[in-house]
Amino acid sequence: MNEGSVMLGGVRQASQLAVKQRMRSVTNIQKITKAMKMVAASKMRIAQASTEKSRGLVQPFLKLLGDIPDADVEKNVTVAITTDKGLCGGINSTVCRYVRGMSSMYSADEGKEDRLVIVGDKGRAQLTRTHPKKIEEIIQDVGKVRITYAQASTIAEELLKTEYDAARLVFNRFQSAISFKPTITTVLSPNALEKEVEAGGSLDQYEVEGPDRAELLQDLGEFQLASMLYNALLENNCSEQASRMSAMESSTKNATEMLSKLTLTYNRTRQAAITTELTEIISGAAALEG
């Protein structure tokens, strides 16, 4: 730390320097958060386009196979979709809260098994503390370069290996730059799908080309899982950027406020120091004369 060249008014000068240091660091923080906000804004714009396009594929699946949140199955797997990076507001905590809620719902019911698959580092950090035994798999660095359908297919393949009956994807659906709703989408496994269809669903009215309807349903179920997962990843990514944008915006605003307060304090201390110096000089001169 650079000591002041004039050591007058010892304590006051030190605090003047301290305030100046603080002002400098707050200004830097302000610049960084402002830049982060702009980066997040541009990323969000790009993400928004691909997110909206991916919704197109989800619609026919929902119409055909339906979203059955109250499907009564034995083996559940919950897929928590979170971010790898932080400083993005409360979206990861929201997802983890829902996952914890669902987990306590299942553990209250005997004979129901539920496993956890976590996508994203932040989710891992929160959920390994509270539910370490339930975790089946952790997937990181998903959106590092770009989110592709191939990635979603790979995750879907891993999911299918766990032999579940119903998968519940928990993510933040992007609605607008300020609104992201936590969403739970239920995707039945191909086997459970067959059972639901036999119980009589909208699938029955379709003739099936080719010999085996069961095989078709199997493929369809896998395709549905991959597509829903892809959509969920994109939506969460878009929500992440939007949330980061608003978090950085409020951070910049707070930094600006703090800076103005510090400036006032700095000027006050500066003026007080000058006044003290002047008073001492004048009284000293007066004492010499008189």
Partner 1 sequence: MSMQVCIMTPDRIFWNQQAEEIILPTNTGQMGVLKNHAPLMTALDIGVMLIRTKVEWTSVALLGGFALVKQNKVTVLVNQAESPSTINAEQAEKTYQEAQRQWVEATGAKEKVEANFALKRARARLQLVKKR
Q: Does 205 bind partner 1 (CB under 8 A)?
A: yes
**Of the candidates 4, 60, 86, 101, which one interacts with partner 1 according to CB under 8 A?**
60
**Of the candidates 76, 92, 189, 227, which one interacts with partner 1 according to CB under 8 A?**
227
CB within 8 Å of 66: residues ≥ 6 apart: 201, 202
**Of the candidates 39, 75, 84, 223, which one interacts with partner 1 according to CB under 8 A?**
223
Cβ proximity of 233 and 119 under 8 Å: yes
Which of 209, 289 has the CB closer to partner 1?
209
> Can you read off the two tokens belonging to residue 261?
């307060």
Report, in Å, the least distance between residue 76 CB and partner 1: 25
SS3 244: helix
- CA nearest to 160, candidates 103, 118, 216, 117: 117
**Binding residues for partner 1, total number by CB under 8 A:** 27
Helices (H), 8-148: 10-65, 91-107, 121-130
Q: Please give the Cα distance from 238 to 171 (Å, whole number).
A: 11
Report, in Å, the least distance between residue 150 CB and partner 1: 9
SS3 175: strand
Q: Does 152 bind partner 1 (CB under 8 A)?
A: yes
Q: Does 220 bind partner 1 (CB under 8 A)?
A: yes
Q: Does 54 bind partner 1 (CB under 8 A)?
A: yes
Would you tell me which residues interact with partner 1 (CB under 8 A)?
50, 53-54, 56-57, 60-61, 64, 149, 152, 203, 205-211, 215-216, 219-220, 223, 226-227, 230-231
